A and B are shown apart, each in its own frame.
Chain A
Amino acid sequence: MFTYLVRRLIYVLPVAVGVSIICFLLVHIAPGDPLTAIMPVDATAEEQAAMRSAYGLDKPLPVQYAIWIGKAAMGDLGKSIATGRPVADEVFTAVRNSLLLAFSASVIAFPIGLFLGFLAGYFRDTIFDRLVTAIAITGVSVPNYWLGIVLVIIFSVQLGWLPSMGAGPGGSGEWTWDYAHVRHLILPAVTLAVVPIGIVARTVRALVGDIFSMDFVQALYAKGLRHGDVLRHVVRNAAPTALSVMGLQLGYLLGGSILIETVFNWPGSGFLLSNAIFQRDLPLLQGTILILSLFFVGMNLIVDVAQAAIDPRIKRS
């Protein structure tokens, strides 16, 4: 297991480097000069050049990359062109908020998805199964920003129960676990949870249904196990796959919540990213994408290792 872990960690390095190069290049290939966004329209050529060299944009790309990644490795992602604040700080706060949202959505989605999926797989081809499948398909296919807007209309505008904007009453972006803040979390987290509920439920349903139709389940009954013990075996068999689906979903929630964060003005990484794009804030954009991608890589690593730890069929040597 230890050697497996070390080997997986070594594999991650080139992936991380590749990811960082792609992040860097993507931003540079994108059309538009980042300077035009922040320079006054009447800026002279000298002023532009000065700005350019201040941000290091006059150097060749590989050099820019080397400088950027070297500093990034030290935790310095440069300064935001738009706000002048360190990118690392901005990204840190935003990622923390996104994580908060993603974890909250997961806490809602995973138990519900697992529960519905397990029961649907267990009662396969019954009305309950069809109901769950219908719910799952609806959850996956309804555009979640639209759902977000509908929920805002119902619970914020009509009923006035819950706030629809921001991550807290003050708008400071500082999170605390109190009623006033948690109220802000409910609508975006519920909205974000809908897709993973559908995906987890569908996957687990298929998984559990398949396992129940396998011969060994009959053999377990044949040796005298009670129902509960057989269920334990089924869960053990389903766990590795279910776990990896949930891990990947968490990764998607983290990076894929741009629309939801925009709808709810949630100050997370997706929100930050869309601001960075519209303001052509190059360092901020690069930094945010890099951190999000590395999160995704890390999530995959954790999922793989956890899966190998609980699934004996995966060769660990």
Chain B
Amino acid sequence: MTETPLVEFNALKVRFKGERTVHAINGLSLSMQQGETLGLLGESGSGKSVTLKTLLRLLPPRRSEIEGSVRVNGTDITTLSGRALSAYRGREVSMVFQEPALALDPVYTIGDQIAETVMRHKGIGRHAAMDVALDMLTRVRIPSPERRLKNYPHEMSGGMRQRAMIALALACRPKLLLADEPTTALDATVQIQILLLLRELQREFGMGVIFVTHDIGVAVEVSDRIAVMYAGNIVETGTTRDVIKNPRHPYTRGLLAANLHGAVKGERLDAIPGSPPALEELPSACSFAPRCAFARPQCLSGLPPVTDLGDGHSVACVLEHPAFDERSREALPV
């Protein structure tokens, strides 16, 4: 008997309509176990935030179309609506945003904002909810939490606000926490504190975490597994160790070569020549081909097949497919 996966994306497609169509997610499939931390890596515009927002159904309903399924603990959440949707948001899955200064309501106190969620989901009174809020602020180690309960967001520092945001997100003990570049807006020293805090709380609460970052160093630090996104799809996924030690996709290799060997921590993933494709049309071939040093005719004749390399390591590239001619593969520079 295997456990129900925490998250299961199955051929997810997300399209934005408007003046021009954007195919933001193109057939993404991925599954994630309970309590696992997944690092989501990829260039700007590769669809990381859209993936997280799809999980919380935060995309503008009139301007976006979702196809495929996303199961969280076995329930397809793409069809949730009304009461079921709001009961799901914040309780099963919650989110820590990149900019706590913008993600907290400026005219409500921190205590009120946390208590509001708790009251919503636990159906308890304001007084009890405030106790939960106080407990959460203590857990995220905000100094003098009683006083901070009554603070407004603008009365706190950036690091403290992000701690408060984490307290808010975890107040209802979600099974899955989405963290969209939660430390990018913070000073370097504060970044590390927040990362350590997140890791500690993840262990304490046993929740799954999807951690979006541009920083490979951070991804290696926090994640059990890594998924690399490119142009709205996952091109490679595996345990952190496998992906870092034995990257198979040319894009992943490019990223690692650019970031690990140079050891420039915190730098954006932009060292691969060329730029990501416009997403105006559904891809019919490997999206990375125009920038790929190993591209060959097969790459353009169809979507690259996904190959399972064992131990959950999989990659979407024709070079890795067993049917691919071994001799030309050996000739590859690694």
* Residues of A near any B CB (own CB < 8 A): 214-216, 218-226, 229, 233, 236-237, 240, 311-313
Contacts and interface: CB of A to CB of B under 8 A. Distances in A.
Contact of A237 (B91, B107, B154): B107
Contact of B105 (A233, A240, A311): A233
Question: How would you classify the secondary structure of chain A's contact residues: helix, strand, loop or mixed?
Answer: helix
A207 to B, nearest CB: 13
Contacts of B107: 236-237, 240, 311-313
Nearest to B93: A222
B89 A312 contact: no
B108 A224 contact: no
A308 to B, nearest CB: 13
B86 interface: yes
Nearest to B171: A223
Contacts of A220: 105
B87 A224 contact: yes
Nearest to B105: A216
A214 B58 contact: no
B89 A222 contact: yes
Interface in B102-123: 102-109, 116-117, 120-121
Given A215-B97, A215-B103, A218-B58, 20 more contacts: A215-B99, A215-B102, A216-B102, A216-B104, A218-B103, A220-B105, A222-B56, A222-B58, A222-B89, A222-B94, A222-B95, A223-B90, A223-B168, A224-B86, A224-B87, A224-B91, A229-B120, A236-B107, A237-B105, A312-B109
Interface of B: 56, 58, 83, 86-91, 94-95, 97, 99, 102-109, 116-117, 120-121, 152, 154, 168-169, 172
B95 A224 contact: no
Given A224-B117, A312-B152, A313-B152, A219 B89 contact: no
A174 B83 CA distance: 57
Nearest to B151: A312
Contacts of A240: 107
A223 B102 contact: no
Contacts of B172: 224
Contact of B90 (A216, A222, A237): A222
A139 B23 CA distance: 43
Which among A218, A222, A233, A237 has the highest number of chain B CB atoms within 10 Å? A222
B116 A225 contact: yes
Contacts of A219: 95, 97, 103-105
Contacts of A311: 107
